[in-house]
A and B are shown apart, each in its own frame.
Chain A
Amino acid sequence: MARRTFEVYRGTAADGKLENYDVEVEPGMVVLDAIFRIQAGESPDLAVRWNCKAGKCGSCGCEINGRPKLSCMTRISDYPDGESITVTPMKAFPIIKDLVTDVSQNYRANKKIPQFRPRPKDAEDGWRMYQFEVDKAQEMRKCIECFLCQDVCHVLRSHGKHEEFAGPAYMVRTAAFSMNPIDTVDRIEFLKETGGIGYCNITKCCTEVCPEHITITDNAIIPLKERVVDRYYDPIKALVRLVRRGGKNG
């Protein structure tokens, strides 16, 4: 059986280090399996957050060789034999212990989004809509809230703008609400002010790391930016609105 060296972050935010573990690996193993073996052997106190081990709960997000990934979906065989594998906590969030980070700022960001409010029912049993018009919103509903996109977003990770910018995951959530054909809420002002969409400079890292392959930048953030442009930066549309308002008043 082959052996691989794992360099795993151990400690808190204030005091920690990368510790080496020599782990026996078998074909098909993922990085989370190696973490379990470390827990079962040398370090039973190694802290890691996980749940489904199927890439659907979004709990086991961490950084493997410096790249945000789900440890349950990352095969050890993806990395060259003989090289160690580094496993570290998500850098954008405060470390609680070892691989576990405090992601509560994401929940606070989520609460700021104006919630979904549907139009009145248009049939006795609910609403009528076509599949083609819910496709856009359904892509956004694939989000498993693993926060890998939040972790890799340089606005949060390098610039620490957690209060100013809701982050890609919550742009996706806003898009899921706003692109729903029966939604009635205007979120443009939220996007510009509280959501801070202008902080995003389209570097597309969120799209690169999304385990659900949501095209976050092209299908969520940019369309939402364009909606903000419609309202705040388009002088022709502003003129049309002014004329219409004048017409109504006159």
Chain B
Amino acid sequence: MESSAAVHERGLGKTLRRDRWWVPPLSVALGLSLCGAYATWAVLQGNYYFAEQFHYLSPFYSPCITASCPEDIRLFGIGWWPLSPAILMMGVILGFRGTCYYYRKAYYRAYFMDPPACAVGEPWGEGYKGETVFPMIIQNLHRYFLYASVVVWLFLTYDTVMAFFPHGQFGMGLGSLVLLVNLFLLSGYLFGCHSLRHIIGGNVDCYSCAFGGKARHGAWKRASWFNKRHMGFAWFSLVFVCLTDLYIRLVSMGTITDFRLF
């Protein structure tokens, strides 16, 4: 016989679960922290983000909009910004990932322990307000970060194409393929966005009554395919964007030589 406390107890980690429930939140915390630390470091560097010879631009620095950007990739040439050009774009990317419905689950569990895992006690009590008040009410702006991210995605697509046409002629190296895979993963992540899925067709109930209803249903179905895999794309794209930056950085520094295929 055991005390009833085991059934009624509340508080951090209180549970009757016997599996290793703490492994997923711990892994997520480690993964997000590692990627976050690398991305922060890379963004603050402000150099070795462009391998001019092959026209490889780090995705963290695309589009490059300040006056300090190399001429080949400079856009707008904002002169008043003294810091790394990537910091300006990071607000968009961080906002998009930070308010993403998948990442919300990930960091609410891993960092906020709200809850750390299903049916596991948490440190917070009755003062919980969820996403109804500031600051978490900001999560509702996810679609605005989505709109901005679509613009960034267009620039990333252009940069990836340019990695196959350095200096106006076709050429392909390992870096071109790295950028292509990076674009594929980021696209998969973007197309599976819950807000995008809603805007393009999820908000329609009667497709046969709505203008362009069938087309919107088709778009919604396609977005739903990506949406089912949103977590996978979120992780793979996050890790790979860091690896892409690292590859371009090493090529740009001359530490490694890009393997040329054509």
Residues of chain A having any CB pair with chain B under 8 Å: 7, 9, 11, 15-20, 63, 65-68, 83, 86, 88-89, 91, 129-130, 132-133, 136-137, 152, 154-155, 157-161, 165, 178-183, 196, 198-205, 208-209, 217-218, 222-223, 225-230, 232-234
Contacts and interface: CB of A to CB of B under 8 A. Distances in A.
A129 B208 contact: yes
Interface string B118-130: 1101101110111
B122 A66 contact: no
Interface in B207-224: 207-209, 213, 217
Interface in B118-147: 118-119, 121-122, 124-126, 128-132, 136-137, 140-143
Contacts of A198: 130-132, 137
Interface in B1-30: 1-4, 6-8, 10, 15-19
B101 A202 contact: yes
B205 A179 contact: yes
A196 B132 CA distance: 8
Given A154-B115, A227-B198, 10 more contacts: A16-B4, A63-B16, A66-B17, A67-B17, A129-B208, A133-B213, A158-B122, A201-B114, A202-B104, A223-B203
A157 B8 CA distance: 11
Contact of A227 (B15, B126, B203): B203
B97 interface: no
18 contacts: A7-B2, A18-B1, A19-B1, A66-B119, A86-B16, A88-B7, A88-B16, A130-B207, A133-B213, A136-B205, A159-B125, A179-B205, A181-B206, A199-B128, A201-B104, A222-B101, A229-B195, A233-B141
A205 to B, nearest CB: 4
A201 B131 contact: yes
A17 B4 contact: yes
Contacts of A199: 128-132
Interface string B138-175: 00111100000000000000000000000000000000
Nearest to A87: B16
Contacts, number: 158
B202 interface: yes
Nearest to A84: B18
Contact of B227 (A91, A155, A181, A218): A218
B124 A158 contact: yes
B17 A226 contact: no
B105 A204 contact: yes
Nearest to A205: B118
A149 B131 CA distance: 19
B2 A18 contact: yes
A180 to B, nearest CB: 7
Given A63-B16, A66-B16, A229-B140, A159 B124 contact: yes
B184 interface: no
A162 to B, nearest CB: 11
B249 interface: no
Contacts of B119: 63, 66-68, 91, 152, 157, 205
Contacts of A159: 124-126, 128
B206 A201 contact: no
A200 B130 contact: yes
Contact of A65 (B18, B126, B128): B18
B194 A222 contact: yes
B126 A18 contact: no
Contacts of A11: 4
B109 interface: yes
B198 A223 contact: yes
> Which of A9, A158, A223 has the most chain B CB atoms inside 10 A of its CB?
A158
A223 B143 CA distance: 13
Nearest to B207: A133
A75 B22 CA distance: 24
The 7 closest A-B pairs by CB, nearest first: A66-B16, A205-B118, A198-B132, A66-B17, A181-B206, A199-B130, A226-B198
Contacts of A20: 1
B108 interface: yes
Nearest to A133: B207
A203 B10 contact: no
A67 B227 CA distance: 27
A152 B143 contact: no
